[in-house]
Amino acid sequence: MKKMLFASGLLLLAMTTFAQVKSGPYRLMLKSLLSHTVPEMQVQEAVLDQANLIFLDAREPKEYAVSHLADAIPVGYDHFAVAALPATLPKDARVVVYCSVGYRSEKITEQLRTAGFTDVSNLYGGLFEWVNQGHPVVNADGPTERVHAYSRTWGLWLRKGKKVYGGKE
């Protein structure tokens, strides 16, 4: 019985570790940056259930144009309005909001929850963690390695992909 409990504990630990932000310093930065006021979805959970999720991209149009998650709906941040969302987006849909690292998407997720969306989460670690864990992004031409790194300071957290700043690599 003890061996079974020990094995179960190790399995749970492995699964939890697998699903978290991989970089310790990045994880610490996110812990302090985010308010953690909304449900958060880990990248691996989103990858496993991707077909059943609707992704909203809370970055600005120039960032979205460089790359985004496949089929993500751009909603922006600076001029975000719940009323501008597609009318076909039901309030009980499984929605995951993301941005570069998770700060802007956390704020948009708060607004969506206030507006009555019942199953909406913030992608923990954002697009950077998605790419850091080796998952694909696309642009208008198809798959790409390019990722808008927002700024050189925030770009430090992007470990994979080709960093783009303001349209230039």
DSSP 54: E
Amino acid symbol at 161: G
Residue 73 to residue 101: CA distance in whole angstroms: 17
In the block, residue with structure tokens 């998770």:
102
In the block, residue with structure tokens 């864990």:
133
In the block, residue with structure tokens 């909203």:
56
Q: What residue ranges in the chain does DSSP mark as E strands?
A: 40-41, 54-57, 73-74, 95-98, 120-123, 137-139, 142-144, 146-148, 162-164
Reduced DSSP (H G I as helix, E B as strand, rest coil) percent helix, strand, coil of the chain, to 5: 40, 20, 40
Q: Which of 99, 137, 149, 158 is catalytic?
A: 99
Please report the DSSP string for 91-114 in residue order.
TTS-EEEE-SSSHHHHHHHHHHHH
Structure tokens at 148: 């808008």
Active site residue 38: no
Please give the positions annotated as active site: 99
